Amino acid sequence: MRKAKALIFDLDGVVVTTEHNHFVAWKRTADRLGINFSERENEALKGLSRVDSLRKILEIGNKQIEENYFEELLVEKNNFYKASIAQLDRSACLPGVLNLLSKAKEEGIPMAVGSSSKNAKFILDRLNLSDYFQIIVDGNMVEHPKPHPEVFLQAAEAMKVVPSESIVFEDAESGIKAAKAGGFYAIAVGNPNIAALADEFLESLEEFKI
Ligand code: BG6
Ligand code: MG
């Protein structure tokens, strides 16, 4: 792509290191269920909604549970996760992020966040980054979570740009699939396992030149 008209960032694992906090919290849930769960299994969860993540863990463990218990585990996971990010600050931003945000802002390139997380606004406020984005589309706003493209399409529509002229930065397979399904230019960041699904791969956002 010659020059992007807009940039759309996934949050967990692209802007901030919180993907690891999600893993630790899900690992605790899986342990309670007696399900083997390592970083390798966690790859499949990245980018999925909270509900779909727990479904995936149960699928991995070939287990079924009552709906009430399912809901209880979701609340418990989120409480644990929220506690683990309570002290989050900008040191949790991934390499190149802050630089890129300020450069793109200087150049007047519209930016958005497209995240599956229902905690996205909380995190961006804590990091004092919300003002960089024209729109933050999060897990509370979509009917169809990633790998469906809705989250990115909503962001593009709000910025009044067409997908083919917008870049999506993603670290998850479900996210790259969502971006491609929506017709976006998809850049995989930091995760070589998904490079083949993307239009481009970057080790980190430090490598991205506007
Ligand atoms: C995604 C993360 O951004 O949000 C997933 O990649 C996470 O790991 C999902 O499970 C849902 O997040 P939350 O904060 O709504 O539980
Ligand atoms: Mg992510």
CATH number where 33 lies:
1.10.150.240
Predicted local confidence at residue 2, as pLDDT: 63
Predicted local confidence at residue 210, as pLDDT: 87
**Residue 1 falls within a domain, yes or no?**
no
Residues 78 and 54 in one domain: yes
Residue nearest ligand 1's atom 12 by CA:
117
- Please say if 131 is a catalytic residue: no
CATH number of the domain encompassing residue 136: 3.40.50.1000
Strand partners, 135: 112
Residues 30 and 111 in one domain: no
For residues 10 and 97, the answer to whether their CB atoms sit within 8 Å is no
- End-of-domain residue from the set 38, 57, 84: 84
- Please say if 12 is a catalytic residue: yes
DSSP 155-176: HHHHHT--GGGEEEEESSHHHH
Residues 12 and 116 in one domain: yes
**Residue 106 falls within a domain, yes or no?**
yes
Quote the ligand 1 centre to 188 CA distance (angstroms): 18
Residues 98 and 174 in one domain: yes
- Residues in contact with ligand 1 (CB, 6 Å cut-off): 11-12, 19, 22, 45-50, 53, 78, 115-119, 139, 172
Q: What pTM was computed for the model?
A: 0.97
Residues 42 and 109 in one domain: no
**Residue 182 falls within a domain, yes or no?**
yes
DSSP 44-94: TTTT--HHHHHHHHHHHTT----HHHHHHHHHHHHHHHHHHTTT--GGGBP
- End-of-domain residue from the set 31, 50, 84: 84
Predicted local confidence at residue 184, as pLDDT: 98
User: Which ligand 1 atom minimizes the distance to the CA of 118?
Assistant: 15
What is the 8-class DSSP label of residue 193?
Answer: G
Listed as ranges, residues in the chain with pLDDT below 50 are none
Note down the domain range covering 172. Answer: 6-17+91-207
Residues 23 and 95 in one domain: no
Counting the structural domains of the chain, the total is 2
To test the ligand 1 pocket, which listed residue (49, 76, 79) has its Cβ within 8 A of the most ligand atoms? 49
Residues 185 and 124 in one domain: yes
Predicted local confidence at residue 155, as pLDDT: 98
φ/ψ (deg, to 5) at 67: -60, -40
Token pair recorded at residue 150: 């809705």
Residues 31 and 130 in one domain: no
Handedness of CA 8, 185, 20, 209 (dihedral sign): negative
| Angle, alpha carbons 205-13-87 (nearest 5°) | 110
Residues 66 and 130 in one domain: no
Residues 111 and 12 in one domain: yes
DSSP 90-136: GGGBPTTHHHHHHHHHHTT--EEEE-S-TTHHHHHHHTT-GGG-SEE
Residues 179 and 114 in one domain: yes
Residues 79 and 133 in one domain: no
User: Which ligand 1 atom minimizes the distance to the CA of 47?
Assistant: 6
